[in-house]
Amino acid sequence: METNRETPAQITKGDAVARWSRDEKVLLAGSIVLITLAAFEALAAMTIMPNVVADLGSDTWFAVASGAAIAMQLASTVIAGPLCDARGPRKVLLWGAALFVVGLALCTFAGHIALFVIGRMIQGLGGGLVMVPIYVFVGSIASPRHRPTFFAAFSMAWVFPSLVGPAIAGWVTATWGWRWVFGVVPFIAAVGLAAMVPVLRRFPSRQGAVEGSMRHLAALAAGAGGSVVLVQFAGTLSGWALVAATVLGLAGCAMTLKRLVPDGTFTLRPGIASIIATRALVMGGLSGAEVFLPLVLQRVHLWSASHASLAVTIGSITWAIGSAIPTRVNTQATRERLPLVGASLMVVGVLPVCFLVLKGLPPVVALVGWSITGLGIGMVHSTLSDLTLGSIDPSEHGRASSWLQIADNAGGAVELAIVSVVLAVWMPAFEGGIQYVPAPVIALGVCLLAVFASSRIRSKQAR
């Protein structure tokens, strides 16, 4: 991607000073509004998903309904970076916002779980096309000195939704039904998009040719997203159909994802490859445990949706606290050690969550553990964003932004897909809380892998 030289916010060597430009301030404010919206939707959906599948009579579709949006967001982030380079981030952002709203509308009026899942998929496609342009804006406008503050602010943008979003979603569901939770978000989306207008005007659309490689990327994107959804859908099947769908889906994931991330990501090569691998693993571990927290609290401990939202709120708040820590770190060597510390905290935090399936265990023990998990992911997530952009030439920030988003979505989507299949085999043989054991145990294993991957990060990231 060529740096936007026509914009007034071009970075100069004198940007080492702490003064913020007008463009940086506008970008920060607009991005926070949009990310706050995305956070509200994600946290609300996570809280009420047990109610959705119960109302539609499709408990076996829980993992698919929860992970479909992430899987399709994975597909759209693959092409979002090159599209930003070819057409400009403004046009990509507007496309994404339109798809996001259409998907939410379909979820609102869905009368069958299949239509609801399709709506989630369209919503996910839009989400990927929204987030990558924001990262491109940051890479083009924000000075290197201010980037950690941007990424910390993005994490902090989850604080307000985490305080009120899950509780509001639970209350609305209990009072008027879950459809209202999806129905009001498009109106908030209009507000968030309006806040970005000053920045969008500074990034005119481009007419660069979309090269033939884009068709190849689109095929890879479709293959990756489709493969993940196939594995997720396998969890609704049984017998040989389950086996066939799982094998085909995992094979598709392996063939496509390997080509969508830096060389050496799967082998944890030191440098940027290990940065992206760590990002995928921590998000996988987080998603695997987080999605099932409200479900177990409601089904095993008989909490209401509004009370179960407390777990989501606690994790989000400590995430925000953890994301503020990197802004206080000034040395590169210390910053590179933060992912290892954060991933280790996640292991410590997820361990007590594994015992939440025991009805006799006070849920507060798991909630304390979950607060530690949130602190760890906060330290890891924003730090890895900064390390990635700092190791790539500004002309390649679109590509690097896609890598980050692909890691975020692939980690969570693939982990949830695997959990879906394991639960399909496990659950019929057990009753009560023990039915859900595989979910947190798999998440714990993924967090352990993240600890090892984070130890491979080195001071000189390879391109």
> Mind listing the domains of the chain with CATH numbers?
18-454 (1.20.1250.20)
Query: What is the rounded average pLDDT of the residues 152-160?
Result: 74
- Residue 408 one-letter amino acid: D
Burial of 240 (0-12, 13-18, 19+ CB in 10 A): exposed
Q: What are the pLDDT digits (tens) for 105-135?
A: 999 999 899 999 999 999 988 988 888 888 7
- Residue 302 one-letter amino acid: L
- Quote the tokens at residue 215: 């068709």
Query: What is the band of 150 on the pLDDT scale with cuts at 50, 70, 90?
Result: confident
Percent of the chain with pLDDT over 70: 88
Q: What are the pLDDT digits (tens) for 210-253?
A: 555 667 777 888 888 889 888 888 888 888 899 999 999 999 99
- 285 or 333, greater pLDDT: 285
- 113 or 317, greater pLDDT: 113
pLDDT value at residue 10 = 45
Query: Would the pLDDT of 190 be above 80?
Result: no
Q: Which range is least confidently modeled, 152-166, 167-181, 413-427, 434-448? A: 152-166
Q: Which of left, alpha, beta for 241 (phi over 0: left; psi -120 to 50: alpha)?
A: alpha
Percent of the chain with pLDDT over 90: 25
pTM to 2 decimal places: 0.74
